[in-house]
Structure 1
Amino acid sequence: MKRLEKTSTRPYPIVLTFDFEGLADAVLEVTRPSCIMIITDSHVAPLYLEQVCEKLKGIAPIYSTVFEAGEQSKHLGTVTPIYDTFIEYQMDRSSLIVALGGGVVGDLAGFIASSYMRGIPFVQIPTTVVSQNDSSMGGKVGVDYLMHKNMIGAFYQPSLVYTNLATLKTLPEREVLSGLAEVLKHAFIKNKALYDYLLEKRDKILAQDLEALEEMTYASCLVKCRVVEADTREMGLRKILNFGHTLGHALETVSNFTILHGECVAYGMVMAAWISFKRGLCTQTTLETIKSLCDDYHLLQPLQNIELDKVVAHVVFDKKKSYGQVPFILIYDIGQVDIIKDVTEDEMRQALIYTQETCQ
């Protein structure tokens, strides 16, 4: 078992383990709830809902609600009936929400926790690589709106993140690989040692060796925590966590979410590296290094039937836009990035063309 303490304005523990045995003790360490509502989706519920209920039995009355799995459920239409369920069970400000699942579950459940009765405690139990390494930490919660990803949301920290790495064993291979893009991102922006580890231990990580995954996840979470602690509300430094996400989110939306989030982030990182290279900020070696590692983890599948102009046009809706400018994260070297606000539409278009032509 490994443990991190996120120590910003609202501290909470991040527990890394291989089972659910310590879940009840971890919950009781941070809260004594009047009741527990587990929010999960139709993929995760058959796998882990019963186990989690069993481990939490005796703490408080336990209820659960299950919504249809997938990004297409991450909207206000899913949120409203869950509020109705809360009222039906007379949940109050001492109640606890448990988000059991991947990034969609965590974002949606966290948004509900932030808004129900102006905020009640919630616990993240992430079950995907993306959520275990990225979205369960940092307090960014929200839902999509009118096809714009995470357009409605809040900053709201969990009380606990409890990560059972063994849950990755039940994920489809493509989901595991997609999630690794966020780990690569943390290495590229802030941790050369993590990059070296990903290179050295690639075979063990791809084979889902639990000890290798634990070391990887600990190092990845440490990057996320340090950046978030320095800039909780994304006013400056935290924006570097969006490396690969500006064009990546647009690509994800234009593909109607048929390309997975992590795959889009990988494409986005290569595109950002290409823009950096063309501006003379990084060497061609750095560009090739980023593309090569993304390819080593099978993240760069051929881009087909994507209208490039639609991707570029969608960037103007980026939720990080401020004063008419969309911040781009460009790279100088592995572990060194910066926030740039003058990337042009032509640069984006050319980066998309480069990626489409070279990632075959």
Structure 2
Amino acid sequence: MPAFAVTTTAHRYEATVERGVLRRLRDFLPAKHGKVFVVATDDVWALHGSAVATGLDGTDWHRLVFPGGEERKRLASVEAMADRMVELGGDRSSLVVAFGGGIVNDLGGFLAAIYMRGIPVIQIPTTLLSQVDAAVGGKTGANLVGGKNLIGSFHQPLAVLTDPDVLMTLPEREYRAGLFEVIKHGVIACEPLFRLMQNEQPRVMAREAGAVEQMVAESVRIKCEVVTADEKEMGLRKILNFGHTVGHAMEAETKYAHFLHGEAVGLGMIAATHLSRLAGRLSEAHSQEIIDVVNAYGPFPSTEPLRTENLMPRLVKDKKAIQGTVHFVLATGIGSTEVVAGLPAEMVREAIELTLA
């Protein structure tokens, strides 16, 4: 299976998509390294920890237990794990392996970015959402009360190791949540991927190997190409935020307890699609296609707890807002987008109302 390169000013690494890759984790370690610290939740470790243990056979490694949950994606968790690393003799030669879903990838990467002012990290994503999005690109972070990932840094990994086999143990809701990020990649950059999600829904939902491998590999390819072109999100990389502005507001409004991240992004994509049409960037036909495909991979949790008047103020707190101006990623077709700032508040309000209706 393929490996896709990410090349930035200071780093080059590969995102490998390969069945069974966890069992050869040693092949991706630096020739000289100290202790290896694996960040993982108990549930992921119970399912797939034996493969990682096999892959680390012969190395000096320790597991750092992260309790899991968006509500624990906070600085307190990072500090607790860093303290444990000190107790176990971690130093500047140490290495972190972030083994889990998007939260673990973000938090484990952030731990590596700041421990001893920065040590290497290898990302091993175990959810569909993290495989196609969170693990690639070097974005790390923790949440504040005011919003998601408001503290963090760019810290590119040594490698990203993606094993599609681990997706077979994902609960259906978690799997569906990741599919919305795949649809996002199709909308923003790859019409054939969008058509796969549109036309092959039974194969995708059945987790048929060929369909899973195609959508994961294509998503990783797109993410690697975008990150290579724009590591620090100064331009092109902003398109990856399609659906995230409203989606993040929905998560924050419900205290990260009602929606999975991918579900919020799915609803946010519907809002962004309505907004694209209202702003005259997207045709009615393409708008309906996108909304129909997103809805086909539902159901979503109830939107009853959400109120437009509460979501609107949260938009300006999004980390992508600049000096109080919200920047929206709008679709201009299937496979193309643009970033637009300064849209009228009433237009944004209408798009959200249509989504919540």
TM-score w.r.t. structure 1 length?
0.95
Partner of 2:52: 52
What is the CA–CA distance in structure 1 between the aligned matches of 2:304 and 2:265, rounded to whole Å? 16
1:118 offset after TM fit, Å?
1.2
Partner of 1:305: 305
Q: Please tell me the residue identity of whatever aligns with 2:288.
A: E
What is the CA–CA distance in structure 2 between the aligned matches of 1:179 and 1:168, rounded to whole Å? 10
Q: Please tell me the residue identity of whatever aligns with 2:79.
A: T
- SS of the residue corresponding to residue 69 of structure 1 reads coil
Confirm whether residue 354 of structure 1 aligns to residue 339 of structure 2: no
1:343 offset after TM fit, Å?
2.1
What is the CA–CA distance in structure 2 between the aligned matches of 1:346 and 1:124, rounded to whole Å? 41
Q: Write out per-residue CA displacement over residues 291-317 of structure 1, whole angstroms, 9 at most, x where no aligned residue.
A: 111012125454212122111111111
Structure 1 segment 1-360 matched on structure 2, within 5 A = 1-9=1-9, 10-20=11-21, 22-28=23-29, 30-58=30-58, 60-257=59-256, 258-298=258-298, 300-357=300-357
Q: Please tell me the residue identity of whatever aligns with 1:239.
A: K
1:43 offset after TM fit, Å?
2.4
- SS of the residue corresponding to residue 97 of structure 1 reads strand
Q: Write out per-residue CA displacement over residues 89-124 of structure 1, whole angstroms, 9 at most, x where no aligned residue.
A: 221122110001000000000001011111100001
CA RMSD of aligned residues (A): 1.5
Identity of aligned residues (%): 37
- SS of the residue corresponding to residue 329 of structure 1 reads strand
Q: Following superposition, which runs of at least 4 residues in structure 1 exceed 6 angstroms of deviation?
A: none
Q: Please tell me the residue identity of whatever aligns with 1:81.
A: A
Does structure 2 retain, via aligned residues, the 8 Å contact 1:45–1:66? Answer: no
Does structure 2 retain, via aligned residues, the 8 Å contact 1:23–1:162? Answer: no
What is the CA–CA distance in structure 1 between the aligned matches of 2:305 and 2:316, rounded to whole Å? 21
What is the CA–CA distance in structure 2 between the aligned matches of 1:341 and 1:350, rounded to whole Å? 17
What is the CA–CA distance in structure 1 between the aligned matches of 2:279 and 2:52, rounded to whole Å? 50
What is the CA–CA distance in structure 1 between the aligned matches of 2:349 and 2:73, rounded to whole Å? 29
- SS of the residue corresponding to residue 298 of structure 2 reads coil
TM-score w.r.t. structure 2 length?
0.96
Does structure 2 retain, via aligned residues, the 8 Å contact 1:43–1:69? Answer: no
Q: Please tell me the residue identity of whatever aligns with 1:82.
A: M
Does structure 2 retain, via aligned residues, the 8 Å contact 1:20–1:52? Answer: no
What is the CA–CA distance in structure 1 between the aligned matches of 2:77 and 2:210, rounded to whole Å? 37
Please, which runs of 5 or more residues in structure 2 have no aligned partner? Answer: none
261 and 183 in structure 1: CA distance in 2 versus 1, 3 angstrom threshold: same
Q: Write out per-residue CA displacement over residues 264-290 of structure 1, whole angstroms, 9 at most, x where no aligned residue.
A: 111111111111111221111111011
What is the CA–CA distance in structure 1 between the aligned matches of 2:299 and 2:242, rounded to whole Å? 16
Does structure 2 retain, via aligned residues, the 8 Å contact 1:302–1:356? Answer: no
What is the CA–CA distance in structure 2 between the aligned matches of 1:144 and 1:31, rounded to whole Å? 34
What is the CA–CA distance in structure 2 between the aligned matches of 1:39 and 1:52, rounded to whole Å? 11
